[in-house]
Amino acid sequence: MMKIQSVQALPDMKVHVVFADGIQSTIDLSDLLSKGIAQELRDPSHFKTVRIDSGGGIEWDNGFDICPNVVRERAKASR
């Protein structure tokens, strides 16, 4: 598992992540935010609450989370 060092919310449902190994990527998450509690994150005020969770993935105040492996795969795909 690659450790996420930092995450920052960006406009248009994107996040910028930096991994401990120095890899950085801007990831579009809009396709994941169309169902269930994830829909709340389409509101920029909710989306900007993103942070690193205790399991090493990313999470938001409403409880929606994405595991670190998925974040890493999306980072690779967006490079």
CB of 6 closer than 8 Å to CB of 52: yes
pLDDT for residue 78: 82
Phi, psi of 50 (to 5 degrees): -60, 145
Nearest alpha carbon to residue 29 among 41, 46, 45, 43: 41
pLDDT tens track, the chain, 79 positions: 678 999 999 999 999 999 999 999 999 999 999 999 999 999 999 999 999 999 899 999 999 999 999 999 999 888 7
**C-alpha–C-alpha distance, residues 45 and 20, integer Å:** 27
Structural domains of the chain sorted by starting position, each given as residue range(s) with its CATH number in brackets:
4-77 (3.30.2020.10)
DSSP code of residue 43 = S
Sign of the torsion angle spanned by Cα atoms 10, 14, 16, 17: positive
Alpha helices in 1-79 (DSSP H): 44-47, 68-77
